[in-house]
Amino acid sequence: MVGSGGVGDAAARIAAERGFFERWVVADYDLARAERTVADVTDRHPGESRFVAARVDASSADAVTALAREHGATHVFNAVDPKFVMPIFEGAMAAGADYLDMAMSLSQRHPERPFSETGVKLGDEQFAAAGDWEAQGRLALVGIGVEPGLSDVFARYAADHLFSEIDELGVRDGANLVVRDDDGNEVFAPSFSMWTTIEECLNPPVVWEQGRGWFTTEPFSEPEVFDFPEGIGPVECVNVEHEEVLLMPRWVEAKRVTFKYGLGDEFIGILKVLSALGLDRTEPVTVKGVQVSPRDVVAAVLPDPATIGPRLTGKTCAGLFVTGTGTDGQPRRTYLHHVVDNTWSMERYGAQCVVWQTAVNPVVALELLATGVWSGSGVLGPEAFDAEPFLTLLAAPQPAGYGSPWGQDER
Amino acid sequence: MVGSGGVGDAAARIAAERGFFERWVVADYDLARAERTVADVTDRHPGESRFVAARVDASSADAVTALAREHGATHVFNAVDPKFVMPIFEGAMAAGADYLDMAMSLSQRHPERPFSETGVKLGDEQFAAAGDWEAQGRLALVGIGVEPGLSDVFARYAADHLFSEIDELGVRDGANLVVRDDDGNEVFAPSFSMWTTIEECLNPPVVWEQGRGWFTTEPFSEPEVFDFPEGIGPVECVNVEHEEVLLMPRWVEAKRVTFKYGLGDEFIGILKVLSALGLDRTEPVTVKGVQVSPRDVVAAVLPDPATIGPRLTGKTCAGLFVTGTGTDGQPRRTYLHHVVDNTWSMERYGAQCVVWQTAVNPVVALELLATGVWSGSGVLGPEAFDAEPFLTLLAAPQPAGYGSPWGQDER
């Protein structure tokens, strides 16, 4: 596992309860951070000796290859910011290991028409290497977090079991999370990597339509109020660039694929300001003789999402709203969803809910791959695999499963 | 003159048309910038040889003293960010020179009740040294830009000539400036130092009332729509911390003194976001091993206010709204104001209007001091001097005056 930030740390805590692996190498650029994760896991599970800490530079494919070879890794699990996707992806391939990630190689907007046409799409660099992976009999399972990840599993499940014809596969993500300071006042603190949030929210959103293919829009387009389950309620959602739109149409038949994120007014306002001021930029600027990337500064002034868990209350919901014709030939509208309450994830795993929800899915996938339930080669999304064993293993009570139920609302 | 940024550069361009001085030393931390100002002035006025460039570190009182002594300076004119007020103020004193600035020493909020009580107030550090300046027979003329500066001159003028009793001295500042990019789209680009704008707008605003003295409020308090003259029209104004509120009550009798800035909704929204995210902070943060101040990063990503002049359109208005009883015993409401059109200041001086409007006032004051029309010792605000010769010299057509008229609306 490359990266022991919020998601990597939570993945280790979840994996420690499972028996499907012999060794889990927790690697980070900051060795002390990797060691902290290993120490935490060992504290929680006395006698646990399968976790080892290592240092790795995720920007170097060679470093990833060397580390994977040193430990004879069968799988390289990428748990760092998406800007490091390509070196880890290539490093895993060179080491002869299978590869998993939770975000795909980054996009580049169309140079002339960024808000109508795609340029380089999310994952394009990875799919370009699909032939090599297939030829070598190796698997790159891309986008296997919660979104992308569980949302894609839902798409395959809907197509196989619920619908005869799908009009729209619409990922809808929303939450009612609130962060408070020591005095109980609400503060702004994103529950996920601010670098990644800026990247996905300010890039031109991508939409897929049958007959038209992929196209882009202006940021924050097509606002709609979506009613989230389990007490979260209505949240304003807008189009956001996300991997599902690039993944689902490759394996699941639908007329339209969208991703809308329940950012809410305040967060949209903040992102618009960051964009208007140029604070979203990644190219370094010179500040009093020092070179820094403005986006890195924004991330640095905000609380680390991995640390806000104790000050957070509320629930997060990931899900897929599917519309079309049911297997009975009748019109159908179904929201498949997965809700995590922060109080539960903090008590049970000491992990913040958004981070925990992201982390559990690749661990489930690794277990399915380790046990041979899932297998394949090439560069594949979660939709390429049978959804039912995944959803069963995720929801089944412990110790057989992961004890994290998902839901299905007919609307 | 310490500082050849936007305001210093414009002050040199204005001064070059006047005969009241023998030498004008343009000093900057960046010698090349000072040399550029001198070269520009010489280009515009062939044969001009009174301007010389020098390097100075404004954070060092000793460096300011040494430079002032080297040139036998009679006056040290501070034209840099207010964080350097104290070393320049002290350096001038040690050199035996008089001193002028356009912003006063910085405030520090009340540690327990920042939004109701003052802590260290604007100018407190300077007024603490007033006895020394008086004892040495030297003058520190503080706050002699446009606001503070011309606004304070208006206060003295209103008290001496228009009102028998003043209810409120209300500085009201507004503009209809728009900045466009090369494609003609409106962009966010502040017309004044972003560092200073953040400082004054996010600090708790200060208000003065007879019997109560100085007190503070929450940022952006008491919004009101003020109708600005000469086609600018109504703009939403809010309380902002500003020097006038600290200066006027010391010399002019009134029941209430306020400062409201026509920030407009968009700018208020931006400042609130910067504050919520902690990007207004001046203490350095560590970003990938480098130390930077977030506020410096915000200033660095925005266009330099000194450079936006060619892309700016509109007018800026500084003024003082006075209410009370007129000299005829009748209720009176008068708005004294000074409007500069960016097209005019760019054509005439190659200087952006907000910067030009700030720069003209200290040059007028220097001329009044050089010619002996104004004189004094101690730490004094513009209100301590007779307003009439200042307003006459500012408005009189060139070459006798500065050709920049002010207005008086009865409301």
Find the mean pLDDT for residues B33-52.
96
Alpha-carbon Rg for chain A in angstroms: 20
Q: Note whether B355 and B14 are within 8 A (CB).
A: no
| Gap between the Cα atoms of B332 and B313, Å rounded | 34
Residue B182: the pLDDT is 84
* B204-237 b/e (C-beta count within 10 Å ≥ 16 → b): bbbbbeeeeebbbbebbeeeeebebbeebeebbb
Within a domain: residue B215? Answer: yes
Mean pLDDT of chain A: 96
Nearest to A269 among B273, B288, B297 (CB): B273
Chain A residues within an 8 Å CB radius of B263: none
- For the cut 80, the answer to whether the pLDDT of residue A306 exceeds it is no
Could A277 and B187 be called an inter-chain contact, meaning their C-beta atoms sit closer than 8 Å?
no
Residue B111: the pLDDT is 95
Inter-CA distances, B402 with A405, B19, B67, B230, B358, Å: 77, 12, 29, 20, 14
Encode pLDDT of B185-239 as tens digits: 888 888 888 888 898 899 999 999 999 999 999 999 999 999 999 999 999 999 9
Spell out the residues 6+ positions from residue B376 whose beta carbon is closer than 8 angstroms to its own: B139, B141, B384, B385
How many domains does chain A fold into?
1
Tokens, residue A335: 């929201």
| Gap between the Cα atoms of A309 and A316, Å rounded | 13
Encode pLDDT of A11-40 as tens digits: 999 999 999 999 999 999 999 999 999 999
Within a domain: residue B136? Answer: no
Could B292 and A294 be called an inter-chain contact, meaning their C-beta atoms sit closer than 8 Å?
no
Could B277 and A187 be called an inter-chain contact, meaning their C-beta atoms sit closer than 8 Å?
no
Encode pLDDT of B61-102 as tens digits: 999 999 999 999 999 999 998 999 999 999 999 999 999 999
Within a domain: residue B283? Answer: yes
Within a domain: residue B372? Answer: no
Residue B306: the pLDDT is 75
Say whether A330 sits in a helix, a strand or coil. coil
Within a domain: residue A8? Answer: no
Nearest to B300 among A287, A301, A302 (CB): A287
* B349-373 b/e (C-beta count within 10 Å ≥ 16 → b): bbbbbbbbbbbbbbbbbbbbbbeeb
User: At A255, phi and psi to the nearest 5?
Assistant: -85, -25
Chain A residues within an 8 Å CB radius of B279: 279, 297-298, 301
| Residue of chain B whose Cα is closest to the Cα of A276 | B188
Place of tokens 């190659």: B350
Q: Which domain holds residue A299?
A: 150-353
Within a domain: residue B3? Answer: no
Find the mean pLDDT for residues A335-352.
96
Answer whether A178 touches B (CB < 8 Å).
no
Among left, alpha and beta (phi > 0; psi -120 to 50; other), residue B179 is beta
DSSP assignment of A162-193 equals IEEEEEEEEEEEEE--EEE-TTS-EE---SS-
- The CATH number of the domain where A265 resides is what? 3.30.360.10
| Gap between the Cα atoms of B321 and B409, Å rounded | 9
Answer whether A287 touches B (CB < 8 Å).
yes
Q: ipTM more than 0.90? A: no
Residue B403: the pLDDT is 96
Residue from B181, B266, B287, B293 whose CB has the most chain A CBs within 10 Å, to mutate: B287
Within a domain: residue A221? Answer: yes
DSSP secondary structure code for residue B286 in this structure: E
Nearest to A354 by CA among A390, A312, A395: A312
Q: Which of A144-153, A312-321, A340-349, B178-187 has the lowest mean pLDDT?
A: B178-187
Place of tokens 């992308």: A148
Within a domain: residue B255? Answer: yes
Tokens, residue B280: 């207004």
